[in-house]
Amino acid sequence: MPKLARGLFVAALSVTVVACTATDAADPVDTAADAEAIAAISDAWMAASNANDAEAIANLFAMDGVTIFDGEFVEGREAILANNTASFAERSEGATVSWERSTIHVAASGDLAYERGHFISDADGEGDGAPEEGEYVTVWVKIDGEWKAMVDAGTGSVSSDEGDEGM
């Protein structure tokens, strides 16, 4: 290979490597920081739930977000607001809800994530009723730089005795 051709090849290769490196470095996805941001939003959601703040919760959702709990499918931020407002109006004084995350996974693209965990909902506070426990998953999307809940779904735990019926 003549010197001029080899020089042009090396120069072109160098420009390509620098361009690829610059592109990757310009827009790195910090999945750990995104997971921390989602955890903070989830914690604020729990506080809003215990404060009966339906509007704060609805604002955490994408406009077309959905919730799926107890066989009920609620779609859209306005419907989620109405559903939570009605639900909070029926709650007993001292009712609580809490959850513990087991996983937050952020996609390498940095625009999609999911959170999984265990929840406890005590609808009558200090009353005689047993709290409901279960598992949940929340799918998060980044919209205009903000994490929003797209799907929040959960199910009550089923004991192994109940799950064996009919077998």
Please report the DSSP string for 49-81 in residue order: HHTT-HHHHHTTEEEEEEEEETTEEEESHHHHH
pLDDT at 94: 87
Radius of gyration of the chain (CA): 24
How high is the mean pLDDT in each 10-residue block of the chain (167 residues)? 38 36 60 98 97 97 95 96 94 91 97 97 81 95 97 79 43
The pLDDT score that the predictor gives to residue 91 is 87
CB of 120 closer than 8 Å to CB of 133? yes
Report the pLDDT value the prediction gives residue 123, as an integer from 0 to 100.
Answer: 80
pLDDT for 28 equals 86
- Residue that is written with structure tokens 């919760």 in the block: 57
Distance CA 132, CA 122 (A): 6
How confident is the model at residue 71, as a pLDDT?
86
The confidence score (pLDDT) of residue 38 equals 98
Q: Distance between CA atoms of 60 and 57, rounded to whole angstroms? A: 5
Output the six-digit token pair for 36: 């921390």
Contact 93, 61 (CB under 8 A): no
- What confidence score (pLDDT) does residue 12 get? 36
Burial 82-108 (b: 16+ CB within 10 A, else e): ebbeebeeeeeeebbbebebeebebee
- Position 158 scores a pLDDT of 55
Angstrom CA distances, 124 to 64, 91, 131, 158, stand at 31, 7, 8, 21
Residue 149: which of 11, 22, 44 has the closest Cα? Answer: 44
Supply the pTM of this predicted model: 0.77
The residues pairing with 107 across neighbouring beta strands, listed in sequence order, are none
